[in-house]
Amino acid sequence: QENASVAALTELGYEVPATLVVAGTVKGTGADGKFEDGDVLTAVNGTDLPDYLSLITTMDAVKPGAKVTATVRRQGEDVDVVVPTTKGDDGRAQMGVYIDPDFHMPVDIAIEAGRIGGPSAGTMFALGIIDLMTPQDEAAGQVIAGTGTIDVAGTVGPIGGIRQKLAGAARDGATWFLAPAANCGEVVGHVPDGLRVVRVETLHEAYEDVVAIGAGKAKDLPTCEAAS
């Protein structure tokens, strides 16, 4: 829910400041033993980090394996830590530091999810927040379902049980379904009659898709296709 709130506000153009608190390091990486729990990460290679998104964009510019200089505030003093990066599973450079961001929300957002648990509703939570905070009715009466995890940068991630979610959406009257691109392999061949699936990778794409569906301009939206 917090990820969805941050991603939605960022998509809407809000700045969401964050205190980037170190919550541990990955054993065996260059960060191990150099950071202390409770350190506050304030800069990387001299670039200030006022929010979590700035950390992501700054690290995206680093070549995996290169060293970075991380500035942390420790017991009231600024300390520079030189860390060799490694390549993460996504191919990006990583310091090997776990960050627990303390977000300073510019808008109070409360999500009442009832007994629903798990991260699968993240993307739809974010779209719901955007819908409530914009004057237009983006869907224009179309019944749009969907699923997908969300991170604070607005990346839509895979979920479990998508075939059951497709069936449930069709049962409840949806005619459109936003599906994470990473789940497309499970979608092909299992789309209920009357339901059209749109493949999404980011919150920005998902929002633009909703607008296109509501405007009746959804004919060319990307869908899940069988592997060739």
- CATH number for the domain that contains residue 173: 3.30.230.10
Q: Do 149 and 94 belong together in one domain?
A: no
pLDDT computed for residue 89 by the predictor: 87
pTM: 0.89
pLDDT computed for residue 85 by the predictor: 96
Q: Let me know if residue 30 belongs to a domain.
A: yes
Q: Let me know if residue 219 belongs to a domain.
A: no
Residue at 7: amino acid letter: A
Domain's final residue, options 103, 136, 157? 103
Give the alpha-carbon dihedral of 201, 41, 88, 224, to 10 degrees: -10
- Rounded to the nearest 10 degrees, what angle do helices 203-214 and 122-133 cross at? 60
pLDDT computed for residue 177 by the predictor: 98
CB distance 105 to 16 below 8 Å: yes
Q: Do 210 and 126 belong together in one domain?
A: yes
pLDDT computed for residue 228 by the predictor: 43
Q: Do 91 and 127 belong together in one domain?
A: no
Q: Do 132 and 199 belong together in one domain?
A: yes
How many structural domains does the chain have?
2
Q: Do 154 and 190 belong together in one domain?
A: yes
Query: Which residues fall within 8 angstroms of residue 207, CB to CB, at 6 or more apart?
Result: 11, 127, 130, 138
DSSP state letters, 14-61: ----EEEEEEEE-TTSTTTTT--TT-EEEEETTEE-SSHHHHHHHHHT
Q: Do 130 and 97 belong together in one domain?
A: no
Q: Do 178 and 206 belong together in one domain?
A: yes
Domain's final residue, options 103, 133, 158? 103
pLDDT computed for residue 113 by the predictor: 84
Q: Let me know if residue 170 belongs to a domain.
A: yes
Q: Do 92 and 145 belong together in one domain?
A: no
Q: Let me know if residue 134 belongs to a domain.
A: yes
Domain's final residue, options 103, 135, 167? 103
Per-residue pLDDT of the chain (228 residues; tens, 9 = 90+): 999 999 999 999 999 999 999 999 999 899 999 999 999 999 999 999 999 999 999 999 999 999 999 999 999 999 999 999 999 888 999 999 999 999 999 999 999 888 777 889 999 999 999 999 999 999 999 999 999 999 999 999 999 999 999 999 999 999 999 999 999 999 999 999 999 999 999 999 999 999 999 999 999 999 998 654
Own/partner contacts of 63-70, CB < 8 Å, gap of 24 or more, are: 63/93, 64/88, 64/91, 64/92, 64/93, 64/94, 65/93, 66/93, 67/30, 68/44, 68/93, 68/95, 69/44, 69/45, 70/35, 70/41, 70/43, 70/44, 70/95, 70/97
Q: Do 206 and 138 belong together in one domain?
A: yes
pLDDT computed for residue 83 by the predictor: 96
Q: Let me know if residue 11 belongs to a domain.
A: no
Domain with residue 97: its CATH number is: 2.30.42.10
Considering only CA atoms, which of 81, 210, 73, 223 is closest in space to residue 138? 210
Q: Let me know if residue 57 belongs to a domain.
A: yes
Range of the domain at 185: 122-214
Q: Let me know if residue 112 belongs to a domain.
A: no
Q: Let me know if residue 221 belongs to a domain.
A: no
